[in-house]
Amino acid sequence: MMHISSILLFIMYFAALVAVSWCFTDMETGPGAALFSPPNGGDRFKIEGRAIVPGLKTQDWVSSARVLVEGEEYVGFLRTDGSFTVNDVPSGSYVVEIVSPTFRFEPVRVDITSKGKMRARLVNYIKTSEVIRQPYPLQIRASGPHSYFMKRETWGWTDFLMNPMVMMMVLPLLIIVLLPKVVNTNDPEMRKEMEQSMNMLSPNPELPDVSELMTKLFSGSKGSSKTSSSSSSSKGPRPAVKRR
Amino acid sequence: MAKLIFLWLKCLVSCCIVEAVFEDQVGKFDWRQQYVGKIRFSHFDSHVQSSKKVLMATEKNVFAALNTRTGELFWRHVDKTGPEGNIDAFLLHGQDALLVVGNGRLLRSWDISVGGLNWEVVLDSGSFQSACLIGQQDTVKHVAVLKKTVISVHYLSNGHQKWIENLPESENIDYQALYSGGNGEVYVLGIVPHSHIAIVVYSMEDGEIIKQTSVEAPWLSNIQTSCAVVGQGMITCVDSLTMSLYTLDMHTQSKMTQIPLQSLGLEVTPHFHPVLVSHQPNAAHQPLSEFLLQLGPEHHLLLQLNSGQMVVLRDFKPVRHMTPVLTSCVFVSESEHNLQIDILLKGLLHLSLFNAETGRRLLDTTQFLSIDPNVGKPESIYVQAFLKKDDSVSYRVLVQTEDHTLTFIHLPGRVMWTREEALSEVVTMEMVELPLTGTQAELEGEFGKKADGLLSMVLKRLSSQLILLQAWVSHLWKLFYDARKPRSQVKNEISIENLSRDEFNLQKMMVMVTASGKLFGIDSKTGSILWKQYLNNVPSNAAFKLMVQRTTAHFPHPPQCTLLIKDKDTGLATLHVFNPIFGKKSHITPPALTQPILQSLMLPLMDQDYAKVLLLIDDQYKVTAFPSSKNVLQQLQETDLTTTQIWEVIIPTEIQKVVTVKGKRSNEHVHSQGRVMGDRSVLYKYLNPNLLAVVTESTDVHQERSFIGILLIDGVTGRIIHEAVQRKAKGPVHVVHSENWVVYEYWSTKSRRNEFSVIELYEGMELYNSTVFSSLDRPHAPHVLQQSYIFPSAISAMEATLTEKGITSRHLLIGLPSGGILSLPKMFLDPRRPEIVSEQSREENLIPYAPELLIRTEWFINYNQSVSRVRGIHTAPSGLESTCLVVAYGLDIYQTRVYPSKQFDVLKDDYDYMLISSVLFALFFATMISKRLAEVKLLNRAWR
């Protein structure tokens, strides 16, 4: 869960970074603010659309939802069939969003020319002049319920066992306990081989005791322990094969 | 490299993500209260017999349905603030509620059962006059709206316009009223003041004018206040000058008939404008022939007009000498022709039903109800009458009093619920610590006193431990005792008597000041109102400032709060001194303030009773100190307090105006002097306690030329530390000023988006004088860093978290118009966020710069508990360093706790006691067993 969200966030960061570079390259052209006249006492228009929550009756959610245009500058309400109209909006460019405490709706930017021509596009705060068309009259579909809560960290055996610290503790333990049993130390051939490998591992030939070697390995540096574990694991199956 | 960044981002995210609320924490330490405001129009839902709804349109532009059993909201629709969302009229027909909104701009129809909109239509411009339902042949299918110059009729089913007509001679005639008697005709009544009444009759079918008459009425100036339509289309008017009633049959007559009040044996109270009230129970039928006439503030009459004959049915005159005061009379019920009277009798509400046709009082309908004399007079009453199973009449009453309290009363004088609608308009608030209990105080006292010998200290220690043990045992006993009782009976009733500070000082008293002049003391843990105080001499346009002069820490002196109430027009102010725990007015007499007050400030100085000194500067620049004992004057080293100008910074008013001046909060502590950089050097913060942030807005509002400016001024020397100007930007600006940073938010007109900007001040790598800060001795100007970000939403309020010692990292709490309260970590607003990630910035845990700040719903501290129209957010430290108490107020009130750096000083509430104890036991047994095994092995080896 945490990983997914972090990946998502990373993607968003990346997108933002990319976008910022776009923004800087885009600077010369400038955003299209001059396209729309400031709100004046002129004509008033209406923004129309419909909000859809898939798989839910409209009665269940419309009474708690509102349509906000540019913050709370213009307010609209949802009809019992999910459609809405925000009346009395002068020409300009507005971000229209449907706010509901339970469902998430993506905001849409609506541009109204001074003649009343409408167009809807995706909201992009960084590249404000970018136009990715959206249907008008607006069709806003809920993208699921809001996630307000975090999951509690529950404790389970698998989590415990998969913990890297535990793995690091358990694996050597297994090696210590199981290795002497798997390897038949009474077999003279085997013993010979082992001694050989030991000698290969450590240039000092005056260390024939297995247990002493092990303690040395585990108290020693990490790198040497790694090699020992790899060597022992590679060694492990071979005698088993031989025994068969 | 990319992998490294990714890893590091991951760990960063994982440390940021913890701000969210866990699902099982819902309602554990947070609560929300929803309000609607003062009622303007209200109707009971009589569509269904068993309906529990009461609908109300309020002065806060809210339309809501309340449950009459509990007083809770079914649904609520919050419109725009200001005149554009103003509700002008509210008509209820069956399941449809019709609202005229924004001075007749919009006509809306709501479905009251689900709370959804049926339709909304835009009406023609022109100021709204009146609206009424039009019936025809026992059905109501249309609604008519009268404007200054036009009348329009709409279908109830879909809002489509049936017809619209211009009113004749609308430039001379002031059309004011609408009437429809249910016969397919619409009457429009207009007036030329002191000349004549104009009556225009329209046909409902096509809007054709059927008849147009004008009637002489030289005494009349306003139809709405002095006329009413009674019975079969009889206009009845009352005039106080000629002391007469006038009647006119709209169908036949063309001249008004005068009936002198004296002929009925009546008299108007001098200087009182008489009021007529008629009642039309159903738009498809004619109004009743009975009507109410109010001749004096306490004198109401029930009259009947029958074929030109005026009959007094009942005179509701104060009978017993002067004691009962009749405050209001209303018509209720459609079928029973009843009438409701309420009489205020020295704090006792007296209600009864009368039959309108006979004027007789109905049996068993009188109720007495004692109301708090503190709440003011009843302002309006709304009655729901109904027939009981045995056909007797019963009723419920909704009473709104002057202090905006709603009380719902059931017949035998039983209060079903009350709502404190004054809390919909909280102006300012403070959080005051609760006092210690006797035992707690004794325990605390042990540490405060000087040591007087080893033995006595030991004895004291023992005795206090004994007290603790005793308290614990009694607590256990109470738990045991409560456990035996059924769950429903166990109520942890919190009253003023058993209020005491809890272990971590998480429970506090919220002192709230509302615009109506009512003060509240609310328990922060549960949200229950512990005390309320209505100040009835507060002017309507008052500005309030609440100050805590003495906290609860100075036992036996009681805590003390002072409320400065200032009339915005005259500038005259009064002080209300009270105890914040009990709400009682203090016996200390505040100084009388005869001059308009310009400014007030609290000094950190205390008098001998540990009350902080409040200074008030009047328009003569004279200073009044409160308390002004000798001790205080001595400390101030002056006997005659005056002011002298030390510095001035001129901000040209023709270009820009000062919007906000923000200092730092006086109870703020900063315990980190600097920031450790990546190379292990320290960047010291510029922590000037006298720094003021001054925000200006340009007077030119053109989007190309408007700008906002921010000045950082040292309050002692007047030195401008920093100045920043944001071009092509406009307000409203929200500012937070704390520690060494200022965060402000504005609207960028160029890119049409909200932007955040952060300014941080640093002294540099060396601290000039680390022991004490003096504004007069700082030769080096601080380094200023600034960065801006895009914020994808508008903002209604902003505040920073505050903790006891200032160690915990800071968050910004942002109230959004959508109703969420976002807790944004300050580390996202850090001007040192690098554009290119380097080894050092990674070491410092800086997030790489991204232009857009994200709004994540996990960061909403109020999850789905939306708070409407947040006006302010109040933060207060608790006894735990990790915890900050937050109250957001606006139309609603929401209280919660936030943990900006997680709960590092207490065990988390999901702490797994089972796991830790089972691990401990397992380890214990494992050692036991292995010990045994080792013994056996040793023994075996010994034998070998």
List all residues 6 or more positions away from A61 whose beta carbon is below 8 Å from its beta carbon.
Answer: A53, A100, A102, A103
Q: Which of B641, B633, B643, B579 has its CA nearest to residue B607? A: B633
The Cβ-side half-sphere exposure at B289, using a 13 Å CA radius, reads 14
Phi/psi for B696 (5° steps) reads: -120, 150
Phi/psi for B400 (5° steps) reads: -110, 125
**A2 and chain B in contact, CB less than 8 A:** yes
Question: Is the pLDDT confidence value at B319 over 70?
Answer: no
Question: Is the pLDDT confidence value at B1 over 50?
Answer: no
Q: Would the CB atoms of B22 and A6 count as touching at under 8 Å?
A: no
- What's the longest Cα–Cα distance across chain A? 104
Locate the DSSP E strands across B307-346: 309-316, 325-332, 338-344
Q: Would the CB atoms of B117 and A150 count as touching at under 8 Å?
A: no
* Between B617 and B263, the higher pLDDT residue: B617
Q: In this predicted structure, what is the pLDDT of residue B307?
A: 75
B774-814 confidence digits (pLDDT tens)? 888 878 888 999 999 999 999 999 999 999 888 888 999 99
**A157 and chain B in contact, CB less than 8 A:** no
B161-219 confidence digits (pLDDT tens)? 888 888 888 788 888 888 887 777 888 888 888 888 888 888 888 888 888 888 888 88
The whole-angstrom distance between A212's CA and the closest CA on chain B is 20
Say if residue B576 is exposed, middle or buried (CB neighbours under 10 Å; 0-12, 13-18, 19+).
buried
Q: In this predicted structure, what is the pLDDT of residue A216?
A: 64
* Between B554 and B820, the higher pLDDT residue: B820
**A179 and chain B in contact, CB less than 8 A:** no
* Mean pLDDT of the A36-41 span: 41
**pTM of the complete model:** 0.83
The whole-angstrom distance between A180's CA and the closest CA on chain B is 18
- Give the rounded percent of residues in chain A with a pLDDT score beyond 70: 62
For residue B622, give the DSSP letter. Answer: B
| Tokens standing for residue B849 | 């710069």
The whole-angstrom distance between A21's CA and the closest CA on chain B is 10
When pLDDT is cut at 50, 70 and 90, the band that residue B906 belongs to is: confident
Lowest mean pLDDT among A187-191, B198-202, B476-480, B596-600: A187-191
Q: In this predicted structure, what is the pLDDT of residue B93?
A: 86
Question: Is the pLDDT confidence value at A16 over 70?
Answer: no
* Mean pLDDT of the B28-45 span: 90
Q: Would the CB atoms of A152 and B750 count as touching at under 8 Å?
A: no
Q: Would the CB atoms of A31 and B864 count as touching at under 8 Å?
A: no
Q: Would the CB atoms of A77 and B794 count as touching at under 8 Å?
A: no
By Cβ distance, the residue of B6, B790, B910 closest to A125 is B790
B87-100 confidence digits (pLDDT tens)? 999 998 888 899 99
Q: Would the CB atoms of B794 and A20 count as touching at under 8 Å?
A: no
Rounded distance between C-alpha atoms, residue B407 and residue B675, angstroms: 56
B368-386 confidence digits (pLDDT tens)? 777 776 777 778 888 887 7
Rounded distance between C-alpha atoms, residue B352 and residue B387, angstroms: 15
Q: In this predicted structure, what is the pLDDT of residue B213?
A: 85
The whole-angstrom distance between B18's CA and the closest CA on chain A is 8
Q: In this predicted structure, what is the pLDDT of residue A37?
A: 36
Q: Would the CB atoms of A79 and B119 count as touching at under 8 Å?
A: yes
* Mean pLDDT of the B550-576 span: 88
- The residue of B818, B866, B868, B919 whose CB has the most chain A CBs within 10 angstroms, and thus the best one to mutate to test that interface, is B818
Question: Is the pLDDT confidence value at A222 over 60?
Answer: no
Sheet with B62-67: list strands edge to edge. B39-44, B53-58, B62-67, B73-78
Question: Is the pLDDT confidence value at B11 over 70?
Answer: no
* Mean pLDDT of the A129-154 span: 84
- Give chain B positions within 8 Å (CB) of A97: 818
Are B301 and B310 spatial neighbours (Cβ–Cβ below 8 Å)?
no
List all residues 6 or more positions away from B567 whose beta carbon is below 8 Å from its beta carbon.
Answer: B539, B541, B542, B573
By Cβ distance, the residue of B14, B120, B864 closest to A6 is B14
* Mean pLDDT of the B550-567 span: 87
Which residues 42-71 of A have a C-beta within 8 angstroms of B?
44, 46, 58-59, 62-64, 66, 68, 70-71
- Give chain B positions within 8 Å (CB) of A77: 77, 108, 116-117, 120
When pLDDT is cut at 50, 70 and 90, the band that residue B742 belongs to is: very high
Rounded distance between C-alpha atoms, residue B101 and residue B107, angstroms: 6
Q: In this predicted structure, what is the pLDDT of residue B434?
A: 87
Q: In this predicted structure, what is the pLDDT of residue B3?
A: 46
The whole-angstrom distance between B861's CA and the closest CA on chain A is 9
Q: State which residue of chain B sits closest to A46, comparing Cα positions.
A: B122
Question: Is the pLDDT confidence value at A15 over 50?
Answer: no
- Give chain B positions within 8 Å (CB) of A12: 854
- Give the rounded percent of residues in chain B with a pLDDT score beyond 70: 91
Angle A188-201/A222-235 helices, nearest 10 degrees? 150
- Give chain A positions within 8 Å (CB) of B21: 148-150
Instruction: Kindly give the residue spans of alpha helices, DSSP state H, lying in A164-209.
Output: 164-182, 188-201
Q: In this predicted structure, what is the pLDDT of residue A144?
A: 85
Q: State which residue of chain B sits closest to A85, comparing Cα positions.
A: B120
Q: State which residue of chain B sits closest to A93, comparing Cα positions.
A: B752
Question: Is the pLDDT confidence value at B227 over 80?
Answer: yes
Contact pairs from chain A to chain B, CB under 8 Å: 161
Q: In this predicted structure, what is the pLDDT of residue A228?
A: 39
B706-719 confidence digits (pLDDT tens)? 999 999 999 899 89
- The residue of A66, A146, A148 whose CB has the most chain B CBs within 10 angstroms, and thus the best one to mutate to test that interface, is A148
When pLDDT is cut at 50, 70 and 90, the band that residue B857 belongs to is: confident
Angstrom CA distances, A228 to A116, A214, B654, B924, stand at 78, 9, 82, 33
Question: Is the pLDDT confidence value at A200 over 90?
Answer: no
Instruction: Kindly give the residue spans of alpha helices, DSSP state H, lying in B812-912.
Output: 839-843
Query: Mapping DSSP to helix (H, G, I), strand (E, B) and coil, where does residue B16 land?
Result: helix
**A173 and chain B in contact, CB less than 8 A:** no
Q: Would the CB atoms of A17 and B850 count as touching at under 8 Å?
A: yes
Say if residue A119 is exposed, middle or buried (CB neighbours under 10 Å; 0-12, 13-18, 19+).
middle
3-state helix, strand, coil in chain B (%, to 5): 15, 45, 45
* Between B498 and B314, the higher pLDDT residue: B314
Strands A149-150 and B21-22: parallel
Q: Would the CB atoms of A2 and B14 count as touching at under 8 Å?
A: yes
Tell me whether 0.95 is exceeded by the ipTM.
no
DSSP-derived secondary structure for B389-406: TTS-EEEEEEEEETT-EE
A77-106 confidence digits (pLDDT tens)? 998 888 999 988 898 889 999 999 889 899
By Cβ distance, the residue of B851, B864, B915 closest to A146 is B864
* Between A18 and B394, the higher pLDDT residue: B394
Are A121 and A67 spatial neighbours (Cβ–Cβ below 8 Å)?
no
Q: In this predicted structure, what is the pLDDT of residue B428?
A: 94
3-state helix, strand, coil in chain A (%, to 5): 45, 25, 30
Mark B339-350 as b/e (b = at least 16 C-beta within 10 Å).
bbbbbbbeeebb
When pLDDT is cut at 50, 70 and 90, the band that residue B9 belongs to is: very low
Q: In this predicted structure, what is the pLDDT of residue B109?
A: 92
- Give chain B positions within 8 Å (CB) of A66: 77-78
Question: Is the pLDDT confidence value at B451 over 90?
Answer: no
By Cβ distance, the residue of B85, B819, B852 closest to A125 is B852
Strands B325-332 and B338-344: antiparallel
B830-841 confidence digits (pLDDT tens)? 998 998 888 888
Q: State which residue of chain B sits closest to A99, comparing Cα positions.
A: B818
Q: In this predicted structure, what is the pLDDT of residue B339?
A: 62
Question: Is the pLDDT confidence value at B12 over 50?
Answer: no
Q: State which residue of chain B sits closest to A77, comparing Cα positions.
A: B117
Q: What is the mean pLDDT of chain B?
A: 84
Phi/psi for B440 (5° steps) reads: -60, -40
When pLDDT is cut at 50, 70 and 90, the band that residue B389 belongs to is: confident
Lowest mean pLDDT among B447-461, B643-657, B732-746: B447-461
* Between A180 and B878, the higher pLDDT residue: B878
* Mean pLDDT of the B844-868 span: 89
Q: In this predicted structure, what is the pLDDT of residue B734?
A: 93
Angstrom CA distances, B858 to A42, A108, B18, B21, B875, stand at 42, 22, 9, 7, 20
By Cβ distance, the residue of A2, A31, A125 closest to B750 is A31
The whole-angstrom distance between B857's CA and the closest CA on chain A is 5
Say if residue B879 is exposed, middle or buried (CB neighbours under 10 Å; 0-12, 13-18, 19+).
middle
* Mean pLDDT of the B43-69 span: 87
The whole-angstrom distance between B157's CA and the closest CA on chain A is 13
Q: What is the mean pLDDT of chain A?
A: 71
The whole-angstrom distance between B943's CA and the closest CA on chain A is 23
* Mean pLDDT of the A190-201 span: 74
Question: Is the pLDDT confidence value at B335 over 60?
Answer: no
Q: In this predicted structure, what is the pLDDT of residue B737?
A: 94
Question: Is the pLDDT confidence value at B491 over 70?
Answer: no
Cα torsion B883, B885, B886, B889 to 10°: value is 170
- Give chain A positions within 8 Å (CB) of B108: 77
* Between B493 and B120, the higher pLDDT residue: B120
When pLDDT is cut at 50, 70 and 90, the band that residue A63 belongs to is: confident
Rounded distance between C-alpha atoms, residue B480 and residue B474, angstroms: 10
